[in-house]
Chain A
Amino acid sequence: MPFTAPKRSKAFMSTPFFRVENISKSFPGVKALAGVSFDVAAGEVHALVGENGAGKSTLMKIMSGVYQPDEGQLLWEGQPIMLRTPHEAQARGIRIIYQEFNLLPDLTVAENILLNREPRNRWGLIDWRAMNQQAAAILALLKTNISPTLPASELTVAQQQLVEIAKSLAEDARLIIMDEPTAALNALEVEHLFGVIERLKTAGAGIIFISHRLEEVLHISDRVTVLKDGCLVGTHPTSALTKPQIVTLMVGRDLKDIFPAKHYPTHKTPLLEVRQLQSGVLHDISFQILPGEIVGFAGLEGQGQRELARSLFGLEPVRSGTIAVNGTAVRIQSPRQAIRAGIALVSDDRKRDGLALKLSVRENIALPNLPMLTRGGFVGARAERSAAQRMIDALNIRTPSAEQSVRLLSGGNQQKAVLGKWMVQPPSLMVIQEPTRGVDIGAKMEIYHLVYQMARDGMGILIVSSELLELIGLCHRILVMHRGTIAAEFPGDEATEESIMQVATGTDVPLASGETKTI
């Protein structure tokens, strides 16, 4: 049975059973955590908040046995312990729901949920019937009717998320770490999830809840711990906090200091004009971007923002509709055509899409510019070196030399190297997905200023981000996507997290307040 966590009285604020003390962790080029302490008690939801790069995911991975801390110790019911592998963490009842999905595509939903704890009959063979029944029982708790016998490869993003959650419920979980569990869920699914969390609490499990959505944090958590730049800002009872207070703690300074003052574009001839675009999940997409304008796209995961960015770069087949750059209609069926049309893409996964990690900073920066740097088939070594150096200087990429392998740079500097690839020959339109994912706060501010500088130089910028504060702080306009189309548009100055989320979740029920509005 799923909720067989040790029965305890619902003792809120009982003594923490798991504590990490003075944890520090470094990676090449970056200090991810410095002297952080954190604990969780039975029957408690402890929220962990912080911006991208604050150290949340590192802390989480230390608590689940993926990383070892450089300094500090882990205490389990007062005893120092080591968690050397995910397996050791699991043995203590620590479950983690990763943000990036970890399902096994070729296995069924039931197998995924009960992986490594498959029910067996008395001959030690797997009892498929029992397995499917148990999985169905767990899924029923989440009020979803995903079939346990479906291969995981056939699930939608939201269903994958639910199966991930179901995995963590399958066994005596004492501690469940949820990393952005609601990122792909709609309002109703979020409600179901919260129902499950309440029941887990009652059963005595401790829950660490990580979310960008502060309304949810305020709604579900008992305590909030704020991290910033790898350091602990503080732990507070949720009841003592308001949303603006959390934001101030997270950011540590006024928003105005982080984001440059907005300069509205003066040109009124659109640089990019998209009309009636249809492709894959996208339909009826029409919008414009002016030269010098920064336009943000918000929405839940899986609502089409990704596909939109991809189709502008020739990665999604476009069914119908037109894309015009600087007044001329362009056909974009491959990245090469997109680049020729003056469009560049900075993807949300720089290690997969952006950089050839074995190669040097110089070689990476030169890569999209080889046609320009080549004379008669031969690469001009001097031109290449100077282009690379120019980018290293202009974008302040901190690297010992242009010959350094990009693998050894910090996340922020890698991200700047990706921008540098495109800035050798500046494009008309820069499409950026998650501009600051996995980047520390210093680099984050630099990147914001760079983006802002590019816009001032007349480039159009399209940003897709899951960080609403980032969109609100940076963009001139914010378009919200829901179910493959643009559901609303907000001027950057008027957008609030609430107003965006309301459209994004496709509901008129604001989560935090619970009051109902009808349109």
Chain B
Amino acid sequence: MDFSQIFMVMAATIAMTFFLGRYRALKLGQATGGRKSLNSLPTYYGSLMAMWCGIPCFILLALWMMFDDVIISQAIMQELPQAVLELPTNERGLIFNMISNTAENGARAGAEPYMVAAAERLQSLRETSQLTLIACLASLFLVIMLVVWAKMSAKTRARSQVEKGFKWLLLICASIAIFTTAGIVFSVLFESIRFFQSVPLTEFLFGLEWSPQMAIRSDQVGGSGAFGAVPLFAGTLLISAIAMVIAVPAGLMAAIYLSEYARPAVRSAVKPLLEVLAGIPTVVYGFFAALTVAPFIRDTGGLIGLSVSSESALAAGLVMGIMIIPFVSSLSDDVINAVPQSLRDGAYGLGATRSETIKQVVIPAALPGIVGGILLAVSRAIGETMIVVMAAGLAANLTANPLESVTTVTVQIVTLLVGDQEFNSPKTLSAFALGLMLFTITLVLNYVALLVVKKYREQYE
């Protein structure tokens, strides 16, 4: 039996208590003169019972799952020979892994005797722990059930208690957003602080060289990599700028045409088609950029005598721009539609043509919203990962030439963290520092964008 099975059995048992509670309520009702004498509907009594039995049992199970492995491994570790205990932490971890492998798959030939003994001990501890858990759960469940059964009366305010529980459940679900943000901030922040202990913040922010290769041994000379993030940010900005040069005019003009000129039939046909572009996964764009657009640009550049890198910033930026077109266009569409018709009518009444109305009345009125939308699009471009991982390079060049290969923050995070890695080396930790920067930048951009949009909204409502 493992945890998932225990969980299933427990969930089923607790579901049964619902019927038990309802039955109890009906009995109580019969004793005191029919269902009408009950405070709440019988189903509420059932839910109440399930709630009271369920919550403590689930909490116990969750706590057990969290701490059981830690306690058992501590117990095993203490019994290992002195020589093993003196090893550094990561080697001890390795030995523990071997022990737990032995416990699960049986002893391999040539395993050291102390390991086999520890494995047997581990196995027996695990079994004991599980039996204890089942016993604890069962007794807790029985005690609570009997107490609730005994205390339940026709006057129990079952409905109000269940509704209170329901409200708390909803509140917890809503708070997950807070926990997620906190989780992001802490996970990124802690690792970043550890990173900044070995690499100074100023070097990271202002250093012009990025080569995160680290020494294999700690006493190796000259093996400390360079962690200057400026080339990464420059590369990110270059690619994002190319993307915006494509996406902003195309997206904005498409939105203007669709909302001001196009007939309803055209609009309802073209708009979903453009939005298909937004629904295509980024990995598909990455494939398209790396295998079609980049070779095309390289070959075209070769024809007119330009040397274009096969992982040029231009290819990645171009495809990213295509991806962002629908994003810009749907955001601008919303704000353009929110401009009151009376403003347009006023301009027409003064004899302005349609394009003059749009350029001199509608766009200025919608400008804050459009700017907000563009800022959101920039934050999308900066955080975009797959296109650049597949189509942009790995070399951290500090250049403004779109035909050369550059790398971005997201590319580096992916290359540093994919595959096996040690949690402690600055190389791995630097990815979290980059993540912190990325998170901060997108947060600021979103905040500014929302501020701009909010200001606009107040003008007409």
Does B bind A?
A: no
**Residues of A bordering B, CB below 8 Å:** none
